[in-house]
Structure 1
Amino acid sequence: MTDVLEDLRLDEQLVLGKPWTLIVWDDPVNLMNYVTWVFTSYFGFPKPKAERLMMQVHTEGRAAVKTGTREEIERHVEAMHGYGLQATMERVDA
Structure 2
Amino acid sequence: MLDQELRASLDAPWVLIVWNDPINLMNYVAHVFRSYFGYSREEAERLMLLVHHEGHAVVASGPREEIERHAQAMHDYGLQATIAKDAP
User: TM-score surpassing 0.5?
Assistant: yes
Tell me how far apart the structure 2 counterparts of residues 16 and 87 of structure 1 sit (CA, whole Å). Answer: 19
- What is the CA-CA distance between 1:45 and the residue it aligns to? 0.1
Aligned structure 1 segments of 4 or more residues deviating by more than 6 angstroms: none
| Pairing 1:36–2:30 present | yes
- What is the CA-CA distance between 1:18 and the residue it aligns to? 1.2
Q: TM-score normalised to the size of structure 1?
A: 0.83
Identity of aligned residues (%): 60
Q: 2:80 is aligned with what amino acid?
A: Q
Tell me how far apart the structure 1 counterparts of residues 28 and 42 of structure 2 sit (CA, whole Å). Answer: 14
Secondary structure class of the residue paired with 1:74: helix
Q: Which residue of 1 aligns with 2:51?
A: 57
Q: TM-score normalised to the size of structure 2?
A: 0.88
Q: Which residue of 1 aligns with 2:17?
A: 23
- What is the CA-CA distance between 1:15 and the residue it aligns to? 8.9
RMSD: 1.6
Shift of the 69–58 alpha-carbon distance from structure 1 to 2, 3 Å rule, reads: same
Larger Rg, first or second structure (1 or 2):
1
- What is the CA-CA distance between 1:16 and the residue it aligns to? 5.8
Asked if the contact 1:77–1:89 (Cα under 8 Å) also holds between the matched residues in 2, the reply is yes
Tell me how far apart the structure 2 counterparts of residues 16 and 84 of structure 1 sit (CA, whole Å). Answer: 26
**Any unmatched runs of 5+ in structure 1?**
1-13
Q: 1:74 is aligned with what amino acid?
A: E
| Pairing 1:75–2:62 present | no
- What is the CA-CA distance between 1:23 and the residue it aligns to? 0.1
**Any unmatched runs of 5+ in structure 2?**
1-7
Q: Which residue of 1 aligns with 2:3?
A: none
